[in-house]
């Protein structure tokens, strides 16, 4: 009988051979695979059914060109993607990312992570992801509208309320979702549930904007309390300054923590008096400016350019990487540990490198992996789908309470899965195992498809 380690090693070698140029995807796969070795030892039928090799291969990858006109009348061309990774437990569900870094490796890693994240929510949604190498920064509203309309003209052939339900991600907020929904409706008629993150006037859900940031803090609250800590009087660093970061800060402040720093790709702001959330929202959500603008109205705050220093060099009790993948490396992790950090929770997708995660685990730092901690966004997206299907609109408090319940359950299930496989306290392994088992059971039941 092949052991779990032998099976996982064999499949990972195949994955590396078939995807040798896709670094982000291989990183995500390696992190999950290592956690699953004891699962295959306990359930050898999944080796016989070759579940892992089947799961790691997307059901479908769609790549397409996106031609559009800029404001100067010049023809521009970008590349669009949709990776429909797994529909074992429900329709494909995952965001769209508009950013110049987007390529097939990025959307595959995001889609692979989404399988486990969506499974952890307990809701019937499969894993998918998409996007384009389009940069919305510096573009006019009309340019963004023309691009999103062209993008949706192709994407609409492959999505639907019971097939694939995209949402937003980096570079895709309420404005972009509105344009995408309008173009889908123009081509297919009004189908409320085809996108989530919609405006409240056309089928969106209250608390969706806040969901990912709030969810990270709800999960972290469970993790801290289970280990004898809370947020009161703790200092925190939150990287990023977009939707996830802003609402993580909002909930942190509500629970008694003091957030002292935020960032964007240009650098980071340090405000020892505590981040002024209203000012940050004005800068990022209204003015759509860079974080350096914050310092112009907050005299004790300072700005450090990205090339001159890292936000992770600041001393704090809690750290929340909420910007993008691989933003926190092994050296950053060591500095955080030296500065006395007690907990790190990922608000972005795979923001910590494997080296960084290893440092946190070796040093006994409480660590919440993104696929568990940042599942609040997709959870409320699924709740938006439920409201659309039933033609109902729930109150903010109703949705928020459901989010609290979901994040608490994710923490509990991850912690218990880790304990069941003699990995108590390892939430990375626990989240991977709990997410995998539900998908594996569904795949096994549905036969060789």
Q: Which residues are catalytic?
A: 129
Angle between helices 396-420 and 376-390 (to 10 degrees): 130
Show the tokens assigned to 66.
């996106």
Chain-centroid distance of CA 254 in Å reads 23
Report whether 71 contacts 140 (CB < 8 A): yes
Which residue, 313, 323, 381, is CA-closest to 348? 323
**Residues in contact with 322: Cβ distance below 8 Å, sequence separation at least 6, in sequence order:** 213, 216, 238, 239, 240, 242, 244, 245, 248, 346, 347, 348, 351
Which residue, 188, 134, 192, is CA-closest to 165? 192
Instruction: Burial-class residue 340 by CB neighbours within 10 Å (0-12, 13-18, 19+).
Output: exposed
Which residue, 131, 126, 132, is CA-closest to 167? 131
Within the chain, what is the greatest distance between any pair of CA atoms?
A: 67
Which residue, 235, 249, 319, is CA-closest to 284? 249
- Give start and end residues of each alpha helix (H) in 171-263: 174-188, 208-226, 243-254
**Residues in contact with 114: Cβ distance below 8 Å, sequence separation at least 6, in sequence order:** 85, 93, 94, 127, 128, 129, 378
- DSSP state, 323? S
């Amino acid at each position: 009988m092949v052991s779990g380690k032998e099976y996982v090693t064999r499949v990972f070698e195949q994955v590396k051979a078939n995807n040798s140029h896709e670094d982000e995807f291989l990183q995500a796969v390696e992190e999950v695979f290592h956690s699953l070795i004891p699962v295959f030892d306990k359930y050898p039928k999944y080796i016989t059914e070759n579940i892992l090799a089947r799961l790691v291969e997307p059901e479908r990858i769609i790549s397409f060109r996106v031609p559009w006109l800029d404001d100067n009348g010049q023809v521009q061309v970008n590349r669009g993607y949709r990776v429909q990774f797994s529909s074992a437990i429900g329709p494909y569900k995952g965001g769209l990312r508009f950013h110049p870094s987007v390529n097939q490796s990025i959307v595959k890693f995001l889609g692979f992570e989404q399988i486990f994240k969506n499974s952890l929510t307990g809701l019937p949604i499969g894993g998918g992801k998409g996007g384009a190498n389009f940069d919305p920064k510096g573009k006019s509203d009309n340019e963004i509208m023309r691009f999103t309309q062209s993008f949706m003209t192709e994407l609409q052939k492959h999505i639907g309320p019971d097939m694939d339900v995209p949402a937003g991600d980096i570079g895709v907020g309420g404005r972009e979702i509105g344009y995408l929904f309008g173009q889908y409706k123009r081509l297919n008629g009004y189908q409320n549930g085809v996108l989530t993150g919609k405006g409240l006037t056309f089928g969106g859900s209250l608390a969706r904007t806040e969901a990912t940031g709030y969810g990270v803090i709800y999960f972290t609250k469970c993790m801290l309390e289970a280990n004898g800590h809370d947020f009161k009087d703790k200092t925190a660093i939150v990287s990023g300054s977009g939707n996830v970061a802003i609402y993580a800060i909002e909930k942190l402040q509500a629970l008694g923590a003091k957030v002292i720093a935020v960032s964007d790709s240009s650098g980071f702001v340090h405000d020892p008096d505590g981040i002024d959330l209203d000012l940050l929202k004005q800068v990022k959500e209204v003015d759509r400016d860079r974080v350096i603008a914050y310092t112009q109205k907050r005299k004790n705050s300072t700005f450090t350019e990205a090339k001159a220093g890292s936000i992770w060099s600041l001393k704090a009790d809690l750290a929340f990487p909420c910007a993008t993948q691989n933003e926190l490396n092994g050296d950053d992790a060591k500095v955080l540990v030296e500065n006395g950090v007690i907990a790190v929770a990922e608000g972005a997708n795979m923001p910590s490198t494997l080296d960084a995660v290893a440092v946190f685990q070796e040093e006994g730092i409480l660590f919440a992996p993104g696929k568990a901690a940042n599942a609040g966004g997709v959870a409320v997206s699924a709740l938006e789908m439920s409201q659309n299907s039933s033609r109902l609109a729930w109150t903010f408090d109703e949705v928020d309470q459901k989010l609290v319940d979901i994040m608490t359950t994710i923490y509990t299930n991850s912690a218990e899965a880790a304990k069941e496989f003699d990995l108590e306290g390892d939430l990375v392994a626990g989240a991977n195992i709990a997410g995998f088992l539900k998908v594996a059971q569904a795949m096994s039941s549905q036969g060789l498809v």
